Amino acid sequence: MDIAVAGTGYVGLSLAVLLSQRNHVEAVDVVPEKVEKLKLWESPIRDAEIESFLAAAKAGERLLDLTATLDGKRAYAEAEVVVISTPTNYDPDRNFFDTTYVEQVVELVLEANPEAVMVVKSTVPVGYTDALVERYPEGRFLFSPEFLREGRALYDNLYPSRIVVGVSQDDSQLRQTAEDFAALLREGAVKKDIPVRFMAPTEAEAVKLFANTYLALR
């Protein structure tokens, strides 16, 4: 499958590396230095497993079908699935997630390839995916929360505690795509028998925020 990943932070890059074991993946970023590092098989972030996988790919010891680019429009035009993992910084004073970068990617995908399915991996407020559907009715959206640690993001994708995908229950075609995406995550993982849960997007968004709250309190 041809996949584009928007954003090469911990979430995006760990997914790009994970999925590139069995798929062609283009990692898209707006920072030239990060893209140049990836072209040299060097990680722009500190993550032991990502660094190890990229070093092995550079040495020819591991096959990763991974490229990096600044040209998002071209990458999205050729992708069947676009994973959106751009920053959504939270302002506690305003109780507000800044989803500007997510929407910029959505609009570029719709311009370049409206048939692509967009999987939002950024942290967003409950109800955000439904709002996207209302704002961009021509788009096809899934929400799949991540449960990762900084510095161990790829490890947590290789050994996930669970896979959650939020999908509209009224769209059978999109439900099939959700199942296919979950299968891609399972294929790239080392851990077997990973629990997979499909639910409405609002429930999946709540799961992510509840998990964040629990971990912060713990």
d(CA 100, CA 213): 23
User: Cβ distance 118 to 6 under 8 Å?
Assistant: no
Residue type at 171 in one-letter notation = D
Q: pLDDT tens, 81-106?
A: 999 999 998 777 767 789 999 999 99
Beta strands 117-120; 81-84: pairing state: parallel
Q: Are 166 and 200 in contact (CB under 8 A)?
A: yes
Q: Grade residue 200 by pLDDT with cuts at 50, 70 and 90.
A: very high
What per-residue confidence (pLDDT) applies to 40? 98
DSSP annotation of 137 reads T
At residue 134, the pLDDT reads 96
Q: CA–CA separation, 86 vs 56, rounded Å?
A: 27
Per-residue pLDDT at 184 exceeds 90: yes
